[in-house]
Amino acid sequence: MTLLEPDVTLTDLGLAIECGAFATWLHQRYRAGTPLRLAFVVFFGSLALAALFGGISHGFFSNHQSRLYVAVWNSGLIALGTAAFASWAIGARLILSDRAAMRVTAFAGLLFAAHVVVILFVSRSFAVAIVHYLPATIFLIGAFALAYRRRRDAFLLAGIAGLVLTVVASGAQQVRIGLHPVYFNHNALYHLIQALALLLIFSAARGLLKPAHT
């Protein structure tokens, strides 16, 4: 089996494994029934799916006009949109009252619906996903910063650093910064930076949630 873009495919699959492990850990180790825990599980789970679909599309499809490729690629973009929705929910539950958090989550749901419509009927460019994801990331950075101002927990700083890294990674990907044009291109570098960023965000999630057996 020959991968069309091995560097991009393998780093995407690595991200899928990392995020899937994070989602599973949070699901099993922390208390069920809390919106914040559910939002983090959805966040990492949807990123795992996005990376998996991305790895499949980069590694196995040479015809980008085929129906199967379009279905796989669009599924990855929609999964990224789900992660953006979860980011809004995490930030809202972290700093707002229940009523206000529900309003923010409803607003995020409308943005997600618009994202799906654009992906399916207007453009399936990865830039669409970044445009949708960026405001949610900025909101979550602000939420972590406000929570840190209130609590002074070091793990919140790790979360902020991870979120800032995701913005840096997206910028580097869009201007096509890579380590090697053939063996480790801009998409592979994007995945590598994201892997570190998501590890930092996971450490913040662990700090914010309560273990199931306490």
Mean per-residue pLDDT over the chain, rounded: 93
What token pair was written down for 203?
Answer: 């450490």
- Is it the case that residue 147 has pLDDT exceeding 60? yes
pLDDT at 1: 64
pTM, two decimal places: 0.93
Nearest alpha-carbon partner for 53 in 81, 13, 18, 4: 13
Which range has the worst mean pLDDT, 6-10, 111-115, 155-159, 168-172? 168-172
Write out the H or E segment, with its range, that includes residue 6.
Answer: helix 6-29
> Which positions ≥6 away from 102 have C-beta within 8 Å?
92
pLDDT at 148: 95
pLDDT at 140: 97
- Is it the case that residue 22 has pLDDT exceeding 50? yes
SS3 content of the chain, % helix, strand, coil (to 5): 80, 0, 15
Q: How many helices (H) and strands (E) does the chain have?
A: 7, 0
pLDDT at 173: 86
